[in-house]
Amino acid sequence: MAILKIARLGHPVVRARARSVDPAVIPTRDFQRFLDDLVETMHEYDGVGVAAPQVHVSLRVAVLEVPPGHGRGGRRGVPLAVLINPTVTPVSKKRVVGVEGCLSVPDLRGAVPRFEKIRLRALGRDGRPYALTATGFHARVIQHECDHLDGTVYLDRIEDMKTLGFLDEIERFSKE
């Protein structure tokens, strides 16, 4: 396995629309190794998700995993998931605002409205289609990662740019 280099905002691959994965490629050794590398990269950088364009691979693939207790409020965890050619459909129009960061936009955090409940359809690493309904932070991570596949980053979704700040400063002043 290998830790892959993260593409930061400004690299064109972050803004490109990624190509769909040919399902015939999924079982190949090279592709399975790429999935392992994507997972290892996410773990190395303590991300809760990473999308292939963030490692300079313009394919519609993302991985996510939320450790139990991640962030504030002792969140429930989300087990490791592989999303290949995913589609996201909002279940209702209700949106909630939450703080997000991104490995391609280091050190910053901002408040982003996201659909509270979504339906995800994707192929898994075994190439089989699956579907699930996600809510709350799980739904947020899915929307964030799937946005990357269309060249969208969370900054594009922020409605109040005054919420954007450096993580260390936000933490410093949120304690006061």
* # residues near Ni ion by CB under 5 A: 1
- For 97-116, letters b (16+ CB in 10 Å) and e give ebbbbbbbbeebbbbbebbb
- Nearer to Ni ion by C-beta: 129 or 166? 166
Q: Which residue among the candidates 65, 100, 116, 145 is catalytic per the annotation?
A: 145
Is 145 marked active-site? yes
Q: Which of 59, 82, 102, 139 binds Ni ion (CB under 5 A)?
A: 102
Choose the stretch contacting Ni ion; rule: CB under 5 A; options: 22-30, 84-92, 96-104, 132-140: 96-104
CB of 152 to Ni ion, least distance (A): 10
Choose the stretch contacting Ni ion; rule: CB under 5 A; options: 76-84, 99-107, 123-131, 157-165: 99-107
- Nearer to Ni ion by C-beta: 8 or 76? 8
CB of 155 to Ni ion, least distance (A): 10
CB of 106 to Ni ion, least distance (A): 11
- Token look-up 């690493």 returns 125
- Nearer to Ni ion by C-beta: 102 or 149? 102
* Residues labelled catalytic: 145
Footprint of Ni ion (CB under 5 A)? 102
